[in-house]
Structure 1
């Protein structure tokens, strides 16, 4: 993109893109919280001993989702900054 002054439409588009990136990260974070809490609930409840392995899998997958979401957020944030060079 040229170094000319950005129009109002361009600035609003940049803001929408940034907000969409934040919403996506928050979705990853929400998923992390649900996986982690569901995993702990399955492990703690004696009724669900047969599927205890699912609880362990959820506890392992949860932090992996958070790390993926964080790396994606930072990558897209850097890409936005490099593309628009404010």
Structure 2
């Protein structure tokens, strides 16, 4: 049960590169970095829409029976931002690891 929950929140698999990184791979990592930033902005944009929608629903007069939807929307806003930042940071750490592998390979080639 705990393993299934851990798998749900992992968002990616562990990958370790054992081959030499070539230019194509380096450019793919750059595209991944840009896509990661774009995804973070998408999470933020979606959470702002939820925030605005929640505030609008809460402020509606005469619709007290659906105010709970506004509060749920506000709660989802916070959760969405946290998930977006978490995923952004996790992928950034992985990319930094790959970039450090590239630097080590370059140093080894220069030395030999």
TM range (shorter): 0.7 to 0.9
Distance 1:83 1:11, change over 3 A: closer
After superposition, the CA RMSD in angstroms is 2.0
* Larger Cα-atom Rg: 2
Q: Choose which of 16, 27, 32 in structure 2 pairs with 1:17.
A: 32
Distance 1:73 1:48 in 2: 38
Q: Does 1:68 align with 2:90?
A: no
Please, which runs of 5 or more residues in structure 2 have no aligned partner?
1-16, 104-112
Please, which runs of 5 or more residues in structure 1 have no aligned partner?
none
TM-score (norm. length: structure 1): 0.84
Structure possessing the higher relative contact order (Cα contacts under 8 Å, 6 or more residues apart): 1
Equivalenced residue count is 85
Distance 1:7 1:41 in 2: 51
* Structure with the higher fraction of residues in helix conformation: 1
* CA displacement 1:26-81 (0-9 Å, x = unmatched): 11111110111100000011143221100010011101110111011000110111
User: Deviating runs (4+, > 6 A) in structure 1?
Assistant: none
TM-score (norm. length: structure 2): 0.66
Distance 2:75 2:62 in 1: 21
Task: Look up the SS of the partner of 1:46 in the other structure.
Answer: coil
Distance 1:76 1:47 in 2: 45
Counterpart of 1:43 in structure 2 is 58
Pick which of 10-19 and 35-44 moved more.
Answer: 10-19
